Amino acid sequence: MPFQRGDVILCQLPMPSTGLTQFKLRPAAVVSKDLNNQRLDDVIVAPCTSNISRGQEPTQYLIAGTDIVAAGIKVPSVVPCESLMTIPKSLIVRALGHLSDEAMTTLNGCLRDALKL
pTM comes to 0.92
Report pLDDT digits (tens) over 94-103.
999 999 999 9
Q: Cα–Cα distance between 100 and 103 in angstroms, integer?
A: 5
Report pLDDT digits (tens) over 73-109.
999 999 999 999 999 999 999 999 999 999 999 999 9
Reply yes or no on whether the pLDDT at 1 is more than 90: no
CATH top-level class for 7-115? Answer: mainly beta
Q: Which amino acid is at 101?
A: D
* Residues 6 or more apart whose Cβ sits within 8 Å of residue 29: 6, 7, 8, 9, 45, 46, 48, 61, 71, 79, 99, 107
Smallest Cα–Cα separation from 54: which of 29, 76, 25? 76
Q: Cα–Cα distance between 93 and 110 in angstroms, integer?
A: 26
Report pLDDT digits (tens) over 9-33.
999 998 776 766 788 899 999 999 9
pLDDT at 14: 81
Q: Rounded to an integer, what is the distance from CA 25 to the centroid of its chain? A: 13
> CA–CA distance from 101 to each of 41, 49, 66, 75, 91 (Å)?
25, 21, 13, 20, 26
Reply yes or no on whether the pLDDT at 47 is more than 90: yes
Write down the domain spans for the chain: 7-115
pLDDT at 72: 95
pLDDT at 2: 81
Reply yes or no on whether the pLDDT at 63 is more than 70: yes
Q: Cα–Cα distance between 111 and 76 in angstroms, integer?
A: 19
